[in-house]
Amino acid sequence: MKQCNLFMLLLLATNVKTVIPPPPCPSSEQIRNAILCSYIIVRNLRPLKFSGSLNGSTQPVEVQQPQEQQQQGQQEQSSVDHTEVPDDKLLAGLLPSGLDKASCLSRYQSSMYRKASPFKPSSYLLSKLRNYEELHRRCGPGTQPYNEALKVLKSRHKSAAPTECNYIVWISYSGLGNRILTVASAFLYALLTNRVLLVDPGTDMTDLFCEPFPSTSWFLPADFPLTKQFKSFDQKSPQCHGYMLKNSLLNVSMEGVPPYLYLHLDHDYNDHDKLFFCDEDQSVLGKVPWLLMRTDNYFVPSLYLMPSFAQELHNLFPEKVTIFHHLGRYLFHPTNQVWGLITRYYNAYLSRADERIGVQIRTFEDGRGPFPHVQEQIQACLFKEKILPQVSKDDSSISSSKNAKSIAVLTTSLTSGYSETLRDMYWEHPTVTGEVVGFYQPSHEEFQQSHKKMHNRKAWAEMYLLSLSDTLVTSAWSTFGYVAQGLGGLKPWILYKPENKKAPQPPCGRAMSIEPCFHAPPFWDCKAKRGTDTGKIVPHVIHCEDISWGLKVIEGREEL
C-alpha cells in the first residue's frame, strides 16, 4: 500500500492533471494477478483510429530482384542541388547491398538528400542485421520452415511442437507515426528473441514501404490463416497473453505452450498484459512459435529495463540514443510513389536554401485550428530560441540583398493557418539580419484520413521531409514528430502541450535525446513484484520531456 501512495505522490508531482486514479493496490497474495498503481491516461481515452484492412486481401506487391547492378542507374541522376553529396549509399554498412534499385529508388538515393549521420552503427549491430537477413531468407513466407510453422499454427493443439523458426506478427494499427514506431519496436524484439518479423500489410503498408530485407518479403502473406481474426483480438480473447495469465492458463512451469498467443500492448493494456515486460514471462513466450502483437507504443525503453535484454541492447547500441535512428533508417524506405512526393517537393522548394528548418504542428485541442494560443506559442518558441530571425518594425530600413542567406521553413500541419500567418509576417516586414525566409507547407489535410492512400503517402512524405531539416521543432505527444526526429538524428525543440487554451510558458524546450517516447510504460518491478517508478531505475531510461509519465532512452552517464 505504501508503494501505491508513494507512486500516487510521484505522479501528482509530475503535474499530470488528467490522470485517472489507480486501482486499489492488491494484497501480497495476489502477486502476479495484479500490478500496482498503473495509470490509464486521458490521452488513451481518445477514440481509436483504426487504419488497417482486415479482409486479408492485400497482397505483397514488391518482388525483390536477385542482384543489383552496381552501376549508377539513369534514374539516380537527381536534380538535388547539394554540393556535399555523401557517397555513402549503404549508410555506413547499415543497408544490405543486393536489393533492386529501380523498384525502390529511395533506398540507395537517401544519402543524396540526407546529411551523413553523426552516429555510426556498431559492427555488432551490422553483423546482427546481416544474420537477421539470413534468418528471414531461411524462414520467410513460402519457405519450408514457414510452411512447417504454419502447420503447427493450424493444428490448434494445446501444446505446440517446437518449430525451426519462430515468428512475431505485427498487426497493422493506429496512425502512421505510431505504426512506424511500433514496427521498429517489434523488429528490435525480433532481433532480441531470434524471431522473424512479419508485417501485416493492412490497407496501405505495401503502398508506403519497400521491402527491407534481400530476397524475401517481410509482409504477411494474404492467406495467413489468422488475418481475419486480427480485428477481433482483444484482452478477452482466449489466446490473449494477459487473459491467459489472469486465468492461470499459462505459467513458467507449464510443459506445453500454445501454438500462438496474442500480445495486447495497446495503450489501454492492463496489468496482466504488461507482464510481457518481465523476464519470467519472456521465458514462457520464448517457446511459443507465433506471437501476434498489436501495439500503438514505442515500447523499446522498457526492454532496456529487462535484465535479459539489457546487455544485448548495450552491445547493439553503444550509443544508446540511436536505436530508432539506426533501425528506422534500416527498415523504412519510401516506395517510389512516396519518394516522388519527397524528392519533387524537396527539389522545388527546399534544396536551394542555405538553411532548412522543420516545424511540425500537431494540436490535440477539440475543434479545428488554427488556434490563437498555438500561433502565439509557435512564434514565441521560434524567436525565444533564435530559430528564426526577428522581423523589423521599420519596414524601410533594411532590404535584403540578392545574395542574402535564405532560410526555408517547412511546416507540416493538418491546417494551413499557422504557416500562412508566419509567411505574411516575413513578407510584410524585413528581418533584422537581412536573411530571407520562405514558408512551405506541402499539405493541409484538415483531419486524419487514414483510409485514404494519398493521405497516408503525404503523411509519410512529410515526416521524411521534416527529417531532412537542419533544425527541427516538433509538437509534444506526437509520434509523427518522433519519426522525423529519429530518422533525422535531430534533437528537436518540443512545443509543449498547451493546457486550458493558453500558450505554455516556456513555449518549448530542447529534447534530451533523439529517441521517441514510450507513452504508456508499465510501472512494475518484476523482481520485487511491486509498483515502482520505472523512470528511476537506470540513468539512461528516464521520463520524457513532453509526457511526464512516459519513458525515453537518453545517453545517460553510467555504463552497464
Ligand X SMILES: Nc1nc2c(ncn2[C@@H]2O[C@H](COP(=O)(O)OP(=O)(O)OP(=O)(O)O)[C@@H](O)[C@H]2O)c(=O)[nH]1
Tell me which residues touch ligand X (CB under 6 A): 175-178, 362, 412-414, 443, 445, 448, 450, 455, 458-459, 462, 478-480
Q: Which does 337 bind (CB under 5 to 8 A by kind): ligand X, Mg ion, none?
A: none
Interatomic CA distance for residues 546 and 255, integer angstroms: 44
> Of 538, 23, 33, 52, nearest to 303 (Cα)?
538
486 near Mg ion, rule: CB under 5 A = no
CA distances to 214, 294, 388 from 234, rounded to whole Å, are 34, 9, 47
- Choosing among Mg ion, ligand X, none, which partner's interface includes residue 375 (Cβ < 5 to 8 Å by kind)? none
SS (H, E, C) 241-255: HHHHHHCCCCCCCCC
The CB-of-345 to ligand X minimum distance in angstroms stands at 12
The Cα–Cα gap between 118 and 236 comes to 46
Q: Closer CB to ligand X, residue 213 or residue 349?
A: 349
User: CB atoms < 10 A from the CB of 270, how many?
Assistant: 18
Concatenate the DSSP letters of all residues of 169-209 into one string: EEPP-S-HHHHHHHHHHHHHHHHHHT-EEEE--TTTHHHHB
Q: Which residues, in sequence order, are bridge partners of residue 493?
A: 473, 510
Site string for Mg ion, 431-470 (x = CB under 5 A): ----------------------------------------
* Closest residue to ligand X: CB criterion: 175
User: Of the two residues 426 and 482, which places its CB atom closer to ligand X in the complex?
Assistant: 482
Shortest spacing between CB 438 and ligand X, in angstroms: 18
**406-413: strand order across its sheet:** 436-440, 406-413, 355-361, 471-475, 493-495, 508-510
Assess contact for 414 and 379: CB atoms under 8 A: no
Among ligand X, Mg ion, none, the one that 320 touches (CB under a kind-dependent 5 to 8 A) is: none
197 binds, among ligand X, Mg ion, none (CB under 5 to 8 A by kind): none
Closer to ligand X by CB, 278 or 459: give it.
Answer: 459
Q: Quick one: what does residue 413 bind among ligand X, Mg ion, none, with the CB cut-off 5 to 8 Å set by partner type?
A: ligand X
Q: Which residue is nearest to Mg ion (CB)?
A: 479
Residue 297 binds which one of Mg ion, ligand X, none, with CB within 5 to 8 A depending on kind?
none
| 343 touches, from Mg ion, ligand X, none (C-beta below 5 to 8 Å by class) | none
Stretch that binds Mg ion, among 133-141, 172-180, 306-314, 321-329 (CB under 5 A): 172-180
Beta strand spans in 247-402 (E) = 260-265, 290-295, 355-361
Tell me the DSSP string of 108-173.
Answer: HHGGGTSPPPSSPPPHHHHHHHHHHHHHHHHHSTTSHHHHHHHHHHHH--SSPPP-SS-EEEEPP-
Q: How far apart are CA 160 and CA 153, in angstroms?
A: 8
Nearer to Mg ion by Cβ, of 34 and 472: the residue is 472
Give which of Mg ion, ligand X, none residue 459 binds (C-beta under 5 to 8 Å, depending on kind): ligand X
Q: Does 175 bind Mg ion (CB under 5 A)?
A: yes
Which residues, at least 6 apart from 125, have a Cβ–Cβ distance to it below 8 Å?
94, 316, 317, 326
Q: Is the dihedral of CA 445, 448, 450, 452 positive or negative?
A: negative
Give the C-alpha separation, 507 to 380, whole Å. 6
- CA–CA dist 380, 269 (Å, integer): 38
Angle of helix 479-488 versus helix 453-467 axis, rounded to 10: 50
414 touches, from Mg ion, ligand X, none (C-beta below 5 to 8 Å by class): ligand X
363 binds Mg ion (CB under 5 A): no
**Closest separation in Å from C-beta 210 to Mg ion:** 22
C-alpha 312/C-alpha 315 separation (Å) is: 5
Strands 493-495 and 471-475: parallel
Site for Mg ion contains 177 (CB under 5 A): yes
525 and 518 Cβ atoms separated by less than 8 Å: no
Stretch that binds Mg ion, among 144-152, 170-178, 334-342, 425-433 (CB under 5 A): 170-178
Interface with Mg ion by CB under 5 A: which range of 179-187, 194-202, 472-480, 551-559?
472-480
Q: How far is the CB of 132 from ligand X (least distance, A)?
A: 26
Among 51, 163, 172, 178, binds Mg ion (CB under 5 A): 178
The CB-of-548 to Mg ion minimum distance in angstroms stands at 18
Q: Say whether residue 479 binds Mg ion (CB under 5 A).
A: yes
Kindly tell me which of 125 and 465 has the beta carbon lying closer to ligand X: 465
- Nearer to ligand X (CB atom), residue 325 or residue 458: 458
Stretch that binds Mg ion, among 50-58, 177-185, 272-280, 402-410 (CB under 5 A): 177-185
458: partner contacted, choices Mg ion, ligand X, none (Cβ within 5-8 A by kind): ligand X
Q: In the complex, what is the shortest distance from the CB of residue 546 to ligand X, in angstroms, rounded to a whole number?
A: 11
Judged by beta carbon distances under 5 to 8 A according to partner kind, the member of Mg ion, ligand X, none in contact with residue 443 is ligand X
CB of residue 175 to ligand X, shortest distance in Å: 2
In 3D space, the residue among 17, 171, 153 whose CA is nearest the CA of residue 500 turns out to be 17
The distance of closest approach from Cβ of residue 337 to ligand X in the complex, given in angstroms and rounded to an integer, is: 15
Q: Are strands 508-510 and 493-495 parallel, antiparallel or unpaired?
A: antiparallel
Toward ligand X, which CB reaches closer, 109 or 411?
A: 411
Select the binding partner of residue 362 from Mg ion, ligand X, none (C-beta < 5 to 8 A, by kind).
ligand X
Backbone angles phi, psi at 184, to 5 degrees: -65, -40
Residue 178 or 431: the one with the smaller Cβ distance to ligand X is 178
Q: How many CA atoms lie within 13 A of 536 on its CB side?
A: 11
Nearest approach in angstroms of CB 499 to ligand X is 17
Binding stretches for Mg ion (CB under 5 A): 175, 177-178, 479
